[in-house]
Amino acid sequence: MYVRPAAAAAAAFLGFTLTLLGGTASYAATGPGSAAGTGTGTGAKTGRAALGGPVVYAHRGASAYAPENTLDAIDLAMQMGFDWVENDVQRTKDGVLVVIHDDTLARTTDVEQRFPDRAPWKVQDFTAAEIARLDAGSWFGDEYAGASVPTLRQYLDRVQRNRQKLLLEIKKPELYPGIEEQTLKVLEEAGWLDARHVAQRLVVQSFSADSVRIVHGLRPDLVTAFLGTPAVADLPRYAEFTDRINPWHTTISADWVSAVHGLLGAHGKAMEVDTWIVDDAATARKVQDMGVDGIITNAPDVVQDAVGGF
């Protein structure tokens, strides 16, 4: 297991806001699920969970051990043996897509020192060139001093080089009109919308149902995921335009997971559930017993050791 300094652990904990995460692009669910448990009971595993354990996603890269959403974090995930990485996409003042979770630069860069008079340091108020000058690693540890906030294109190129797979979250689309079309354009320019990537290596997700619906409308072949925990009665509505429902782990039960599995999603396959953010073995085993298909985690090694994911 990788061990990070206590200071880094505290800093990373501050970043555990309700963020993204979703499924896997090879949507090979085996059929509608049928979990038979109580709210926290053990249900019958279906889909990917029945094929050897849930898929493990490195949340913002291996972010328990390297600064989140940096190239260092996805490189470390690769070195640890994890294929799937997750990231967050936002837009700069001059229209460049960058990979960062918060809509402000303050938590994960030295923007307050470099630009002290520009509070509240919103991503959308800075140009890509200005953001490129920021240090996005020192807050986590001295060994990462000088790490930068990558553009989406830089990030895609590194994921491609690493032969990894991508769970991409469109972050706060209400702040960035048209970001869905722009994200798809960058993906296409980087070679990520060919048949192989779309079938096996890419999932696009958002907390915004409207944003997921837009992506599905523009590229019906893409696997999409909605971040949240809709009521069971509302699930059929989501199944019309998405393939996965990806909830915060404290909000689900085996019966809820079974209800999702019992619906066919936008591609005619049983819908899947990838839950977040799970960083300890006990919780990983708990959600595995509920029948989830994937687990999104800052500490992918801890989760994989616990559930035997792939």
CB atoms within 10 A of CB 308: 12
* Residue 265: Cβ-neighbour burial (10 angstroms; 0-12, 13-18, 19+): buried
CA distances from 136 to 12, 100, 186, 304 (A): 13, 10, 23, 28
Identify the CA nearest to 98 among candidates 127, 73, 72, 138: 127
Is-contact 23 244, C-beta < 8 A? yes
Q: How far apart are CA 160 and CA 178, in angstroms?
A: 25
CA distances from 280 to 21, 29, 50 (A): 17, 26, 21
Hey, what are 142's tokens?
A: 């001295």
Is-contact 224 241, C-beta < 8 A? yes
Q: How far apart are CA 32 and CA 40, in angstroms?
A: 20
In 59-127, beta strands by DSSP E: 84-91, 97-99
Beta strands 97-99 and 84-91, pairing class: antiparallel
Hey, what are 124's tokens?
A: 């959308």
Residues marked as catalytic: 59, 101
Is-contact 83 164, C-beta < 8 A? yes
Is-contact 75 288, C-beta < 8 A? no
